[in-house]
Amino acid sequence: MASGLEDTLDFQPRFDGHGLIPAIVTDARDGTVLMFAFMNAEALRLSQETGLAHFWSRSRQSLWKKGETSGETLRVVEMLTDCDQDVLQVKVEMQGRGRACHTGRRSCFYRRVDGGKLSMI
């Protein structure tokens, strides 16, 4: 039975011990998973305030706006959170050429795992 966070209509994002929350980014039109990243409180705030997706880079230890250098920005259409408010789904409209992955592909998920090998999809 649901209670607490599961019932509230107050947004209370639960950041992990590093101050991060996972963000699954999907295409608002067709639901395709485009990328996975993390947000800290500032990235979440900026995404909500500006309408453009911002994230936290764990490797660079810095805030980044998606598409800042490539022009491949992501306009936030809708944000959903799960029952525990510890994961976000960010539905976006891709801008630029429609490439969310730094490799130039539409999605970061372009390979299938086949046993111990990968194949292109």
Does position 2 have pLDDT exceeding 70, yes or no?
no
Tell me which H or E stretch contains 49. Answer: helix 41-50
Percent of the chain with pLDDT over 70: 98
Read off the CATH number of the domain in which 14 is found.
Answer: 3.10.20.810
Does position 4 have pLDDT exceeding 90, yes or no?
no
Q: For residue 36, give the 3-state DSSP assignment.
A: strand
Containing structural domain, residue 98: 4-120
Of the candidates 112, 111, 70, 110, the one whose C-alpha atom is nearest the C-alpha of residue 94 is 70
Number of domains in the chain: 1
> Which residues are paired to 54 by β-bridges?
65
Q: pTM of the full predicted structure? A: 0.93
pLDDT tens for residues 12-55?
A: 999 999 999 999 999 999 999 999 999 999 999 999 999 999 99
CA separation for the pair 121, 36 (Å, rounded): 18
Q: For residue 35, give the 3-state DSSP assignment.
A: strand
